Amino acid sequence: MLVAASFVVVMLMNFYLNNTVEDIFSTLNADLLQTNNALATHKIGMYLNMPAQAGTRIENRFEDNARYPADKVQKELRRLMRDNVMEGVHLSQISYATETGSYVGYSRDTATGALHLIKNRPSEAGFDLLTYAGKKPDSAILRQDKGYDVLSQPWFMQARTMRTPFWNASMVHSALNSGPVMTFRQPIIDASGAFRGVVSVDIQQQTLSQFLRKMKRGNLDTLFLVNRSGNLVAASGDIPPTVLSLAQHLLHSESAQVDVGKTPVDTGNGKLMLISDVTDEAHLLPLSLVIISPGNYLRSLIAHYSWRNTLGLVAVVTGVLICVIFLLLQLTGPLEEIIHRVYQLGTPHWTRLARGKMFPEIAELATELDKKSESMTALLEANRNQLETDKETGLPTLAGLVNNADIYAQRNMLALLHLSNHSSLSNLLGPEAGLGLVRFVLAQLNAIFPEGMLVARVRSDKLLLIFPPVAGMQQAEVVMSKLQEMLSSSMTASTDAGFILTGHAGCVMENITPQRLDALLLNAGIALHDARKQTSDNHVLMFTQQMYNDGLNRTVMHEQLIHALERNEFSLVMQPIIGLDDSFQCREGECLVRWHSEVLGFVSPDKFIGLAEDTGLIIPLGRWIIENACQELARFIARGAPENFKLHINVSPLELGQANFVAGLAECLKYHRLRPENICIEITETVLMNDKHVALGQLTELRNMGISVALDDFGSGYSSLSYLHMLPFDQLKIDRDFVKDILLNSRSESVIASVLDLARRFKTPLVAEGIETPEMGDKLRAMGCELAQGYFYGRPQAFDSWPVADGEFRLTP
């Protein structure tokens, strides 16, 4: 009661104080939010004005000296990159392009903060833009962009024409640091009015986000910038879509009344939103700053540090408890001996308490404990028998078998037998049918194997067999053959309900000891698992070290696969798909993923793709493949590939089953400025194995967008024809196993001819995979095949390894 009373008093005081000051804090919070908003707006404006200050500084040099030396310009640029800093955030990149086409600049590595010189030099293509590893041209070259003509750049021509400063919209260029940037362009006009060049200053959007994070009040405020179109420019953290949508609505809705920079808006979830305009001094970059703050910031600060109040309350309660416990110990001394003995209750170690001088109530308690101990001992013995004996068959359970010393009497072979159809029989015919199967198997085991074999029922459908001592592997193979024969024979378990026994077994041959028993059971389970993976029923396998190694390798590969994306160990290659009517003109290609692990080296896709699908890692891996494939395709087209080039991307059933798959793909296409016709999704018939309605809906939506669908590995499954009428597709790809023997096997030729006829009736092109010789290509062309893919036309290579120019992608004959 004392503890409860103390707790109630402290809670009431806390409640009273919180409610008393809440109104005062609410008023102060609104004023504080406006003050913070004004400060943040001022600082952001100063940061956005840094590029203009840098450009003005360079222009002043030309006003003082119309022939300002190039080496001094370079030093001035480096000084600006070093000195222009605010809140610990520097400029991202600065450069100067002259009216004669010279280009020099510096870029900052966002990870290390190091400066990298960027400079062009004459070459056969005109000028090459070089990015160096250090600040000077004698350092190593990190990047070389050939044919970079400054004078033909749109921004340079715009600066020479306008002769006034301007900002470029958010864009992605070939700077050292990837990611969207905003670029300030300052035309340089000397004292005579002559145009001398352009100073360009970049602000990376991620750098601007870093600047916003430095201005946050701990974890209580969220800041983000949007442009006049409502698009997110930078943010101090993750912005919920609902918050961004509300800010866009308030900025663009005519009905929304927003007092910019003055009146906070309630977001509806206990937070306030304050929107204010922010720009540079020249008003060339109009943005809107949005601050999200708790509805009562000062109240949140108190809640943030409420652990101190909690600690004080715990200290008070702990002190009271110590007092209470002390009093109880003083009052309950006579019970101490019983308390120490109560742990022996229900065990053979329990002895009756000696009746000395004690209170009658304690003596009565001791008598009752004696009675309870006797009853508990009997109950525990009954429970032990129940745990160690299977009540349906009378066999020992695994716990009972482990306590049997006979299993360690020079025995050296055990088997784990799984009755595969036990569960289906029990579900269809009832538990008696499943129990009948177990009893029948036990009868067969007793008839086939000699006396001395120990059997335990470790699960309703699983038996553990421990054989008498086996003299060598030859005798072990005899035991396994008998077990295989029993499983393979067609037998009935009763005269009332007939059925066939199906099962698998995993065996281990090693001396059985108490220390190794768990490991032997694990190894038997591994062998049983491998037996169940066989294509047919009734397999018996002996455990080998290779089985363990395969499982261990799979585990190691899984661990490495988890971190492969973080380590950037994946890469993409492309294999061309050519038209057989013109084998040197390529308009399609298949995107393939490669994994070069730091630990495992090169890992074949046949090994890690299946593992990724089994573990669910195919979802983030597939997202990475789509994003990078779109990026590579956009660069490929920009480099000179046909604008209608179609890239095939393999998609697993798990990816297609994601609700946001179509939206994510559409967003990726939009971001990289690709058309839906540039993408073809390759699937297999397994997409219909799980939820076919979801898969069909996703495929239909993709095709409605204009994205093509190809049915890959056609003919390799058992049900290709049954699924063909259900799947929406635009192209068939016949499995390479049929194509490889087309010149030698008439059956393969007949299969391909049938598939070609099927494709013509569906009015879809057929792609033949695995073409390795010109004779195979000629044969398929003569049969009417339109498209082909294989090593003869090109092995998979990196996108930038394929020569493209002027909208054409032609393979070298």
Catalytic residues: 769
Angle, helices 2-64 vs 306-331, to 10°: value is 160
With left for phi above 0 and alpha for psi between -120 and 50, is residue 111 left, alpha or beta?
alpha
**Which DSSP category does 642 fall into?**
-
Angle, helices 422-429 vs 431-448, to 10°: value is 140
Render the burial of 682-692: b for 16+ CB within 10 Å, e for the rest: bbbbebbeeee
Compute the distance between CA of residue 302 and CA of residue 269 in angstroms, rounded to an integer: 19
What are the CA-CA distances from residue 278 to residues 177, 271, 431, 797 (Å)?
26, 22, 75, 48
Decide: 713 and 590 in contact? Cβ < 8 Å.
no
Q: Which two tokens stand for residue 69?
A: 């030396």
CA 222 from chain centre, in angstroms, equals: 26
**Which DSSP category does 768 fall into?**
E
Decide: 615 and 653 in contact? Cβ < 8 Å.
no
Q: Which residues contact 772 (CB under 8 A, 6 or more apart)?
A: 740, 790, 791, 792
Compute the distance between CA of residue 152 and CA of residue 174 in angstroms, rounded to an integer: 16
Compute the distance between CA of residue 225 and CA of residue 235 in angstroms, rounded to an integer: 6
548 SS3 class? helix
Q: Which residues contact 368 (CB under 8 A, 6 or more apart)?
A: none
Strand positions, DSSP E, 618-759: 646-650, 679-683, 708-714, 731-734
Count CB neighbours of 456 within 10 A. 23
CA 183 from chain centre, in angstroms, equals: 33
Phi, psi at 592, each rounded to 5°: -125, 145
Q: Which two tokens stand for residue 738?
A: 């049929």
Compute the distance between CA of residue 544 and CA of residue 550 in angstroms, rounded to an integer: 10
Decide: 734 and 768 in contact? Cβ < 8 Å.
yes
Among 459, 461, 454, 455, which residue's Cα sits nearest to residue 437?
A: 461
Angle, helices 2-64 vs 297-304, to 10°: value is 120
Compute the distance between CA of residue 421 and CA of residue 500 in angstroms, rounded to an integer: 9
Compute the distance between CA of residue 287 and CA of residue 40 in angstroms, rounded to an integer: 13
Q: Which two tokens stand for residue 539?
A: 């397999």
